[in-house]
A and B are shown apart, each in its own frame.
Chain A
Amino acid sequence: MAADEIATGPKLKIEPMEQFVVSPIFGDGPVNWYTPTNVTLWLFIAIVSIVLLMVLTTRGRAIVPTRGQSIAEVIYSFVRGMIVDITGEGGLKYFPYIMTLFLVILFTNVLGLVPYSFTVTSQIAVTGLLAMAVFISVTVLGFVKNGTKFLKIFWITEAPLALRPILALIEVISYFVRPVSHSIRLAGNMMAGHAVIKVFAGFAAVLAAGTPLGIGLIAPVGAIMAVIGLEVLVVVIQAYVFTILTCVYLNDALHPGH
């Protein structure tokens, strides 16, 4: 075609989704459930950093905390305050689970911002598993704690009687959509931000080769820096949102009447 003959400069070749491919660390055979992949590697790095931060720095139990210990204490009291705010003191029994969720999501998100790293939470398989775990445990907990009274969350007594069956139908649907939106929100946000950075990186590659002295590089590199600044905010907020929605669902299970 004519367009190919005209375009003599460097080709614009952008593959933003390439960074999300799960591949084995050793060799390039098929990926089975036991194959060590880049997901395994980065999940392992995240867990090692969590242990380093939360266990090793607080080992001294200093009255005047060191730098590492005060970071660990801030994270701890932040999650504790979140649970008390939303579910009340009764929710503190489930603190270990919620703290684990928050730390794993926060650390995998933040490690995903390191160049050439892999974002574990951009995989819907990972976030879907986390969301299904929350959904199943919260549902089981609701029935164990309240018996059949748990079904009251679908029957809204404040509404007029004629509207209640329709509202109940909507509530049932929205209850079962919870794990879907819970998982896709996290994976989608991670995927979107990283894909945007990759698209700007593709522009940078073209402009570096296509302009004198690579002067055109300034615009896309500046844009990448701005987007990374935004991404730092987004990864922390998404970890917060995932955790706080877990607390909201937990609150529904513990106090279904409200």
Chain B
Amino acid sequence: MENAIAGADLIKMGALIGAGLSATGMGGAAIGVGHVVGNYLSGALRNPAAAGGQTATMFIGIAFAEALGIFSFLIALLLMYAQ
């Protein structure tokens, strides 16, 4: 009786491990966003006059990089709460 693991518990365990694994995907998005902003800043400090015109492009880049991290976060949320 002690070593009988209920199937529902096993599924819950697998889902939580999967949620943790998929949440690591957000780290990739963090690297991506940091890369975009860092490169924007290093360019902007070399040529501050041209920086203002590129702010919109930077935000578009951030948005594209961030969306992929949000996808993995969403998978984590679905695994944890939508069963």
A residues whose Cβ falls under 8 Å from a Cβ of B? 17, 82, 85-86, 181, 184-185, 188-189, 191-192, 195, 237, 240-241, 244-245, 248
Contact = CB atoms under 8 A, between A and B. Distances in A.
B71 A241 contact: no
Contact of B77 (A189, A191, A240, A241): A191
Q: Tell me which of A17, A241, A244 has the highest count of chain B C-beta atoms within 10 A of its own C-beta.
A: A241
- Size bin of chain B's contact surface: 10 to 19
Interface majority SS (helix, strand, loop, mixed), chain A: helix
Contacts, number: 39
Interface stretch (B3-11, B14-22, B38-46, B56-64): B56-64
Given A17-B77, A17-B81, A248 B60 contact: yes
6 contacts: A17-B81, A82-B56, A184-B67, A184-B74, A188-B74, A245-B60
Interface in B36-83: 56, 59-60, 62-64, 66-67, 70-71, 73-74, 77, 81
Q: Which 5 A-B residue pairings sit nearest by Cβ, starting from the closest?
A: A188-B70, A241-B63, A181-B67, A185-B67, A17-B81
Contacts of B77: 17, 191, 195
Given A184-B74, A185-B70, A85 B56 contact: yes
Contacts of A181: 64, 67, 71
Given A17-B77, A17-B81, A86-B56, A245 B71 contact: no
A68 B70 CA distance: 35
